[in-house]
Amino acid sequence: MATVFARPKLQFFGVSTTYVARKISFSDLGEALRRGWEDFEAVPTHAIVLCVMYPVLGLAVFRFVLGNSVLPLFFPLAAGFALVGPFAALGLYELSRRRERGEEATAWNAMRVLRAPSFGAMLELGVLLFVLFGIWIAAADAIYVATFGYAPAASIPDFAKRVLTTPEGWSLIVVGCGVGFIFAVVALCISVVAFPLMLDRHATAIDSIRTSIKVVMMNPIEIAAWGLIVAVLLVLGSLPLFLGLCVVLPMLGHATWHLYRKVVEPDQSPSQEQEEVRPAIGHRYAADFPASLFPWSRER
């Protein structure tokens, strides 16, 4: 069960934050995945429509790789989808949020995230993740060139033989996976709950990143397990020509929203929606004018 971190506010990197982190357990991870699957079952068509871009994009990348003789970048490009996945799942967070509140959850409703007060902050962090993705691709290319030189692979069998049957290929696998792991850890630390927090609490990008890092520091083993679960599911979803991502990505997007609910203490103050509710106004008559312009005079 999730437990609330004792201090109401933390000094993080010298700045006071008001978002309170919780300590979670492995059972909380399982519950987040279960509730993510329930959300996917509730709106499977909409979720697939929102995420069908991933298999299409994967196949497009595959064609690009074959057509432009940059086969060594195929795996880094495919793996790099996970770096920008948290930003691409914004619509899924909105669907889970609406279902949680008992509101209608359709593909059109998911587009409401574009009108969120903190959408600018979401774009800022999204750009940061895309920059991280670009650096990862450049690093992967540099590692391959340092190992095999600039000579392109003649074909897929030739590339597979180079990588799997030679000492240079084994070195490429070890170094490439190690560097990729660092990029994945960085992306996970800065975005594990950042986008749901911005959507739910209208937090700034900086505060969201700080809160995500704080969550990781409080739950290092559990968040590491979460990252491993995400990686395994993405690999399984990528095997049949990326088509499995139509199911895996929506489910993980919904599950991330529920993970956020587990690790960040909800706001105890009245919600914005509640504060905007006004009492119903009764019938007004012409004789009331101009007194009706001053509602406090009616309380007497």
Q: Considering the entire predicted model, what is its pTM?
A: 0.77
Question: pLDDT tens for residues 196-241?
Answer: 999 999 999 999 999 999 999 999 999 999 999 998 888 888 776 6
Give the residue carrying structure tokens 């600039």. 150
Rounded to an integer, what distance in angstroms lies between the CA atom of residue 59 and that of residue 66?
Answer: 11
Return the half-sphere exposure (C-beta side, CA atoms, 13 A cut-off) of residue 224.
Answer: 7
Q: Where are the beta strands (DSSP E) in the chain?
A: 3-4, 10-12, 15-17, 22-23
Question: pLDDT tens for residues 110-134?
Answer: 888 888 999 999 999 999 999 999 8
Residues contacting residue 276 through CB under 8 Å, at least 6 positions apart: none
Q: Is the pLDDT of residue 294 over 60?
A: no
Rounded to an integer, what distance in angstroms lies between the CA atom of residue 241 and that of residue 71?
Answer: 16
Q: Could you write out the DSSP letters of every residue in 166-222?
A: SHHHHHHHHHHHHHHHHHHHHHHHHHTTHHHHHHHH---HHHHHHHHHHHHHHSHHH
69 in the Ramachandran plot: left (φ > 0), alpha (ψ -120 to 50) or beta? left
pLDDT of residue 38: 92
Question: pLDDT tens for residues 144-187?
Answer: 889 888 777 667 777 788 888 889 889 999 999 999 999 999 99
Question: pLDDT tens for residues 233-270?
Answer: 888 887 766 777 788 888 999 999 999 999 999 877 65
Under 8 Å between Cβ of 41 and 98 = no
